[in-house]
Amino acid sequence: MSDVNSTRAARPAVPHDAKPALKAYGAWVAVCVFWGTTYVAIRVAVESYPPFFMAGVRFVLAGSTLFTFLALRGYALPRKKELVDAAVVGVALLTVANGLVAWSEQWVPSSLAALVVATLPFWMIGIEAALHRGERITVRKIFGVLIGFAGLVLLLSPDLNSAIDRNYLRGIFGLLLAPVSWAAGSIYAKYRSVKMNPLMAASLQMIIGGLVLLLMGMAFSEHRNLVFDPRGLVAVVYLIIFGSIVGYVCFIYILDKLSSSTVSLYAYINPIIAVLLGKMILNERMDWTVIMGTGVILLGVLLVQTSRSH
């Protein structure tokens, strides 16, 4: 999960020569692919390891690696105020939002998780509209939200028409809360005037968010249920390297090199990759309701993201 508006490093500047453009589009493809695969990797990881402990290890190791690299390269260390802001955003985006995704995927398929999380722009405009200086809601945005949630109902309809497992319902509820927390944290970051380097901010967010997740895991005694599993370990390592470090560095890079409208296209590709991989790797459901639901949700997202507030 991520949002172009959550980082003030975004600039509309597009590279002029072919070489930087090629690198930028390569990084954009990496974001589309790696962030689209994280849902399947999380699903595999939580089959072997408890969710909060797994996510905590992922973000602490990824954040520490990135922070060490940046510190050795001479990047400025954060001030107290910036550390507080990083903590707020890290807890909202990683502890709550990503933690809920990992927790929910114990019972909910990865493809469905990705599509529920794809409703993030709907929550963004709702929270923005509630703010005094936020963007106002337009008719097109409302129409997009209604279409998107209609797609979500279509997606869940086969399960709503049959006996539903209680844990499945808990997972769906957790997934609905995840983008709300991500939206709140993103908007907080958007309106805070922090001058810290985006990569340094990201590393601190991962460290702080990951530490809170580890504390949560200990509070739920997750550390007592750890059993070594090679398949799960590979998934965790993949999440650390490609989901967190490579994915986020590429994201920050393309924000500086490509237009925001181009960057935002990854939000439409991630769910499609998650659905396809869920079917190919985990044999998850992909019938006409999944295909139609995916299309309707993404149409709603498109209408919301292309709507003008004035």
Three-state SS for 131-146 is CCCCCCCCHHHHHHHH
Per-residue pLDDT at 6: 45
Contact of 203 with 87, CB cutoff 8 Å: no
The 8 Å CB, 24+ separation contacts for 15-20 are: 15/257, 15/258, 20/257
How far from 237 is each of 9, 32, 99, 149, 243, CA to CA, in Å? Answer: 28, 19, 17, 34, 9
The predicted pLDDT at position 193 comes to: 65
Q: What is the pLDDT of residue 234?
A: 96
If you search the block for the tokens 């967010």, which residue do you land on? 205
Ranges of residues in the chain whose predicted pLDDT is under 70: 1-20, 132-135, 159-164, 193-194, 261, 308-310
Predicted confidence at residue 14, as pLDDT, reads: 42
CB 270 within 8 A of CB 92: no
What backbone phi and psi angles, to 5 degrees, belong to 119?
-80, 5
